[in-house]
Amino acid sequence: MRENFYILLVMLLTVPIAGELKFHPFQDDFRISFGTTAFFFLLLWLRPSFIAGLLTGATVVLFRILLDWMSLDAFDFVRSFHSHLPAFFFYATFAGLFSLFRVNRFHHLPLWVGLLGTAAEIGANLVELSFRSSSWGSVLHLSVIGPIAAIALIRSFFVLSFFNIIQLRQAKWMESQQRNRNERILMLISNLYEESVHLKKTLQQVEDITRDCYDLYRKIKEQVPDGWGDGFSKQALSIAGQVHEVKKDNQRIYAGLSKLISDQNERDYMAMGELIAVTVRAHEKYARLLGKTIRFEAEVAAPYLACHIYTTLSLLNNLVANAVEAIQDKGTVSIRASLSESRQWIQFSVSDDGPGIQVKDRELLFMPGFTTKYDVSGKPSTGIGLCYVKEVIDNLQGHIDISDEREGRGTCFLLRLPIASLVQKG
């Protein structure tokens, strides 16, 4: 509603002014102007249109009378009013036919919009001419209708072309916004997927702790003499109960995450090329956030192969983020994806030209909590990223290797995964 009001306001301001850019094809008061062009263009954005035509026609008449009052020495209101009144019927008729033809319902059919707009303008011009002429006979003549129809046809398709260009740019902008929203959602769910894997592992650990506590309670009851171990046995049983409650809470959280992430849903798969592109765009932003100048290279041998979104993104995100963080100020990160010759394996490689990993650290790299990264205050990172990657790859029965990129500098992570564990089943 507010948008229609603003469009109407623009129409009432621009159409009278644009109407003064004119020429007179029949050497009388009848004019061809840019006011009609602006009016038609704004009608394509406005619903409903008939009331807008009445208001615009009245505004045009008042504006032209005002110009006569300002420019003529011997101003005659009645004469000026009669001279410009036909313009009101032009805009009213144009808007009436535009509304009658329901032109704005055919935006998906540009040819129809152009033809109906042409017909509306021809009809409106003939109505205006009829008020300016003494008889319809002088109006309904080929020498009159021909030029009007030609001008109306050219003007309608010119306006339509401009309108469609704007709509196309608007559609591209909306598509870009939607893609950004989708990518943010994908990255969020990818992170949730990663957390769900950790949570599942924690559930198993909690189950083991509960069982151990209960076993401790039972042994104390059986092996410690009566009275001596009552306090310890009760404490062990209390700990088992508390851990059991933690487990139940974690199970509810895990159930909620699992509902969001379904391995069997077709929407959970995306073309490999798009997944790599999402990863690159996300980490270009991350590199800028860290104040680094990093060039990303991507090479995908099978771009249309549908891979599981969250597994793929969670693996690549960890490795690419590590590569971005390893580079000091500027450098290059390369991401490559390919299929083995037997087409039984998918192979990913993520390499950077950073300082590399020391040989003594390689054996510890996938250990939980191990890290070589510290923030500006000296606090270490969590050290769970590569541990998670290793665990997921092991669960998928894949392999991960590390190698130097060149001459002891840079690092290359090589992932090799069974295609059946990652690719959508046909």
pLDDT in tens, 367-392: 654 455 544 444 434 445 677 788 88
Backbone angles phi, psi at 161, to 5 degrees: -65, -45
Instruction: Express the helix, strand and coil content of the chain in percent, nearest 5 each.
Output: 65, 15, 20
Q: What's the CATH fold of domain 267-422?
A: Heat Shock Protein 90 (3.30.565)
For position 30, what pLDDT does the model report? 62
Estimate to the nearest angstrom the gap between the alpha carbon of 339 and the chain centroid: 30
Beta bridge partners of 413: 350, 402
The CB density around residue 172, as the number of other CB atoms within 10 Å, is 10
Please indicate, yes or no, whether the overall pTM of this predicted structure exceeds 0.75. Answer: no
The CB density around residue 294, as the number of other CB atoms within 10 Å, is 20
For position 35, what pLDDT does the model report? 86
Estimate to the nearest angstrom the gap between the alpha carbon of 229 and the chain centroid: 64
For position 140, what pLDDT does the model report? 78
| CA-wise closest residue to 406 among 335, 355, 346 | 355
Question: Which residue positions in the chain have pLDDT lower than 70?
Answer: 23-31, 48, 193-195, 197-198, 201, 225-229, 260-267, 358-385, 404-408, 425-426
For position 378, what pLDDT does the model report? 41
Q: Which CATH number fits domain 2-140: 1.10.1760, 1.10.287, 1.20.1050, 1.10.3470?
A: 1.10.1760
The amino acid present at 415, given as its one-letter code, is: L
List Cβ neighbours of 5 (8 Å cut-off, separation of 6 or more): none
For position 364, what pLDDT does the model report? 58
For position 391, what pLDDT does the model report? 83
The amino acid present at 47, given as its one-letter code, is: R
For the chain, the structural domain boundaries read 2-140, 188-264, 267-422
Do the Cβ atoms of 197 and 392 come closer than 8 Å? yes
* DSSP secondary structure code for residue 269 in this structure: E
